[in-house]
């Protein structure tokens, strides 16, 4: 694609990167075949190719974002399926992230949108505030029918019961069982520790059982993805993590930084790019990105212990977009689940997003619901006894549309190697 940016424009680092990305696009349209919104809506402007044209026009002409641009960029899930499909290596993720920052700077949204997006950017990354908001949701739920539709959507996704905060999410060190093989840091995250603390608990038990010393570092927390992908500044949260893990690297060394939420993993692995122009943090950020591993990546390298529980369960493995497209992790989770004794089934149309996509199901509920229903129909078609996935957002989204249990992959690996049975599994299930 030809571009016509001025030298003054290219002096800006983000614009220079976007210009190189735009030049790689050859208009082939392969991306349209795998884009969830184009599949649903059939609008060229709701395809990656169409959005690229809109972004190019906006950035090249240094225009404020228009209503049309905002509409179609907001509809993008950032599922990154287009990046898997693209034969030219177009880094759509960095391009659309730049576009969202430009929108945030140049476009004034209606006040209800500003309020909602502002609240999401403040509340979700803060476990204490998020927990408080979910308690408030419980009080409002009986009044849901009289509240605005957008509020009803928020209440529907809120859990009926809020689990207690877990002691594992406080800064501490968990010592390896037997001889120590690795020393790793665990990203304990933000929203996940509030709505599904059992995932971090299972991760720590699994790692410790397999000879890993696990550090929950002082000062680490939200990865910054929630704010970053709606055009807000997530650098302060990312910076806190880089500094926290750098202290651990300097003091005791780290063999890996383990992440059990694939959306967070995609972002942490991109810290090196995010801080490329920061003279203080460029090298530490690159080091952190290099150390970042999804829990299934690391367990695939370590090797799973022989299962102590025989389940015989048929599992539908839902590969989160941030796992298969963002991190290019496809085979490791399925290999581990097979080694654990499960019969692993691929979900038809597995490349299509479930509609969670960070805050997408809160900001674009109509499209998100259609994608969820399509995903659930594909899962139901293969008749599994449960669904496994590696992202808490997908768990919440899919579970809102089906009675089939949906659990994190790590909960199953922990269970079959000596941990407790996942609470979401019915008593009638084998094992």
CATH number where 368 lies:
3.40.50.1860
Q: Are residues 346 and 286 in the same domain?
A: no
Copy the structure tokens of residue 404.
């089939």
Q: Average pLDDT in the 376-403 region?
A: 96
Q: Are residues 340 and 403 in the same domain?
A: yes
- What is the rounded CA–CA span in Å between residue 77 and residue 425? 30
Residue 234 lies inside a defined structural domain of this protein? yes
- What is the rounded CA–CA span in Å between residue 400 and residue 160? 11
Looking at the chain, how many residues does it have? 431
The answer to whether 295 and 203 are in contact (CB under 8 A) is: yes
pLDDT of residue 156: 75
pLDDT digits (tens, 9 = 90+) for 352-380: 999 999 999 999 999 999 999 999 999 99
- What is the rounded CA–CA span in Å between residue 391 and residue 319? 9
Burial class (CB in 10 A: 0-12, 13-18, 19+), 423: exposed
- What is the rounded CA–CA span in Å between residue 363 and residue 367? 10
Give the residue from 94, 124, 157 where a domain finishes: 157
E strand intervals along 93-177: 172-174
Average pLDDT, the chain: 93
Q: Are residues 256 and 177 in the same domain?
A: yes
The answer to whether 83 and 128 are in contact (CB under 8 A) is: no
Query: The domain that contains 255 carries what CATH number?
Result: 3.40.50
- What is the rounded CA–CA span in Å between residue 210 and residue 33? 42
Residue 62 lies inside a defined structural domain of this protein? yes
Residue 237 lies inside a defined structural domain of this protein? yes
Q: Are residues 407 and 291 in the same domain?
A: no
pLDDT digits (tens, 9 = 90+) for 243-269: 999 999 999 899 999 999 999 999 999
Pairing of strands 172-174, 212-216: antiparallel
Q: Are residues 219 and 289 in the same domain?
A: yes
Confidence of residue 427 (pLDDT cuts 50, 70, 90): low
Q: Are residues 96 and 177 in the same domain?
A: no
Residue 430 lies inside a defined structural domain of this protein? no
pLDDT digits (tens, 9 = 90+) for 144-162: 676 776 677 777 777 778 8
Q: Are residues 295 and 174 in the same domain?
A: yes
Query: The domain that contains 62 carries what CATH number?
Result: 1.10.1060.10
| Residue 119, domain extent | 113-157
Burial class (CB in 10 A: 0-12, 13-18, 19+), 272: buried
- What is the rounded CA–CA span in Å between residue 80 and residue 424? 30
Q: Are residues 12 and 69 in the same domain?
A: yes
Q: Are residues 173 and 281 in the same domain?
A: yes
Residue 15 lies inside a defined structural domain of this protein? yes
pLDDT of residue 429: 60
Whether residue 431 has pLDDT greater than 60: no
Provide the number of structural domains found in the chain: 4
- What is the rounded CA–CA span in Å between residue 206 and residue 78? 31
Whether residue 229 has pLDDT greater than 80: yes
What are the distances in angstroms from CA 264 to CA 76, 85, 270, 287, 296? Answer: 18, 22, 10, 16, 14
Give the residue from 240, 264, 299 where a domain finishes: 299
Residue partners of 88: CB distance under 8 A and separation at least 6: 24, 25, 26, 28
One DSSP character per residue, 282-322 reads HHHHHHHHHHEEEHHHHHHHH-PPPPSS----EEEE---HI
Residue 37 lies inside a defined structural domain of this protein? yes
Q: Are residues 372 and 320 in the same domain?
A: yes
The answer to whether 233 and 182 are in contact (CB under 8 A) is: no
Q: Are residues 386 and 328 in the same domain?
A: yes
CA angle 34, 36, 39 (to 5 degrees): 80
Residue 382 lies inside a defined structural domain of this protein? yes
Residue 122 lies inside a defined structural domain of this protein? yes
- Phi, psi dihedrals of residue 238, rounded to the nearest 5°: -65, -40
Give the residue from 247, 265, 299 where a domain finishes: 299
End-to-end CA distance of the chain: 56
pLDDT of residue 137: 74
Name the pTM for this structure. 0.93
- What is the rounded CA–CA span in Å between residue 169 and residue 154? 25
The answer to whether 99 and 64 are in contact (CB under 8 A) is: no
What are the distances in angstroms from CA 70 to CA 15, 248, 298? Answer: 19, 41, 39
Q: Are residues 171 and 144 in the same domain?
A: no
């Amino acid at each position: 694609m030809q571009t016509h940016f001025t030298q003054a424009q290219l002096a800006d680092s983000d614009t220079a990167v976007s210009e190189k990305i735009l030049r790689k696009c050859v208009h082939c349209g392969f991306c349209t075949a795998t884009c969830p919104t184009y599949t649903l809506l059939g609008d060229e402007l709701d395809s990656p190719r169409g959005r690229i044209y809109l972004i190019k026009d906006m950035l090249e002409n240094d225009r404020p974002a228009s209503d049309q641009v905002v509409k179609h960029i907001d509809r993008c899930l950032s599922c990154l399926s287009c990046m898997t499909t693209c034969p030219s290596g177009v880094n759509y993720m960095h391009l659309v992230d730049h576009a969202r920052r430009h929108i945030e700077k140049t476009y004034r949204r209606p006040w209800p949108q500003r309020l909602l997006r502002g609240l999401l950017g403040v509340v979700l990354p803060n476990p204490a505030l998020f927990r408080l908001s979910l308690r408030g949701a419980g009080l409002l739920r009986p009044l849901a029918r009289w509240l605005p539709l957008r509020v009803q959507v928020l209440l529907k996704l809120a859990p009926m019961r809020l689990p207690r905060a877990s002691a594992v999410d406080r800064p501490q060190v968990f010592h390896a069982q037997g001889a120590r093989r690795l020393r790793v840091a665990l990203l304990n995250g933000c929203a996940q520790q509030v709505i599904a603390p059992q995932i971090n608990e299972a991760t720590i038990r699994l790692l410790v059982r397999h000879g890993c010393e696990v550090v929950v570092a002082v000062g680490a927390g939200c990865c910054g993805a929630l704010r970053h992908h709606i055009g807000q500044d997530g650098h302060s949260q990312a910076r806190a993590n880089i500094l926290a893990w750098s202290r651990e690297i300097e003091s005791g060394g780290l063999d890996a930084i383990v992440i059990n939420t694939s959306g967070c993993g995609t972002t942490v692995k991109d810290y090196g790019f995010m801080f490329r122009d920061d003279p203080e943090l460029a090298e530490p950020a690159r080091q952190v990105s290099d150390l970042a591993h999804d829990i299934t990546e690391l367990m695939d390298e370590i090797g799973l212990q022989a299962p102590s529980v025989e389940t015989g369960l048929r599992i539908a493995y839902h590969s989160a977009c941030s796992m298969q497209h963002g991190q290019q992790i496809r085979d490791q989770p399925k290999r581990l689940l097979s080694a654990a004794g499960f019969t692993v089934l691929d979900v038809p149309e597995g490349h299509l997003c479930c509609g969670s996509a960070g805050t997408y199901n809160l900001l674009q509920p109509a499209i998100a619901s259609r994608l969820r229903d399509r995903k659930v129909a594909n899962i139901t078609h293969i008749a599994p006894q449960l669904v496994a996935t590696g992202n808490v957002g997908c768990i919440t989204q899919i579970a809102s549309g089906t009675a089939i249990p949906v659990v994190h992959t790590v909960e199953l690996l922990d269970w079959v190697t000596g941990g407790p049975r996942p609470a979401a599994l019915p008593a009638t299930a084998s094992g």
